[in-house]
Structure 1
Amino acid sequence: MGGYIVDFMIVALLVIGITATNGVLTSAIGLKFFGGKDKSEIVDKSVSLQSGWKSVGGKKK
């Protein structure tokens, strides 16, 4: 039974890891080849929306 759980966890971690990596790579490739001249428009808009937000979590310095 323990072997089954270990195998299940390994497969689950691989599936999640490969899916996450695939998403990041696909997004980067899509922006590079199909992003046009306004590649950073979405990132800039996100940063401008988030400016002034309070930091949540972490240690205070």
Structure 2
Amino acid sequence: MVGYFIDLVLVAIFVIGITAFNGVITNSIGEKLFGRKEKSKFVDMSDRMTANFNRVGGKGIYRKKTY
């Protein structure tokens, strides 16, 4: 019975993991092939929105690098 639950959990993890990975890969391929000039549309809009915000916290070593 324990073996059944271990198998069930492993299959569930693999199915969820493969589905999530497939979504990320498909999205990145779609952006590269069909994005054209709008590849960084959301990053640019975010930069425009936060242009006048005050910088807070540390030296920025944990800041995410985008494009």
**Normalising by the residue count of structure 2, what TM-score does the alignment of the two structures yield?**
0.65
What 5-or-longer segments of structure 2 have no aligned partner?
A: 54-67
1:48 Cα offset (Å): 5.0
Indicate the residue corresponding to 1:59 in structure 2. none
The alignment-based identity, stated in percent, is 53
Identify which of structures 1 and 2 has the higher relative contact order when contacts are C-alpha pairs closer than 8 Å and 6+ apart: 2
Q: 1:22 to 1:35 in 2, by over 3 A?
A: same
1:43 Cα offset (Å): 2.9
Number of aligned positions between the proteins: 52
- Residues 7-39 of structure 1 deviation map (CA, whole Å, 9 limit, x = unaligned): 000000000100110010000000000001121
Q: 1:4 to 1:46 in 2, by over 3 A?
A: farther
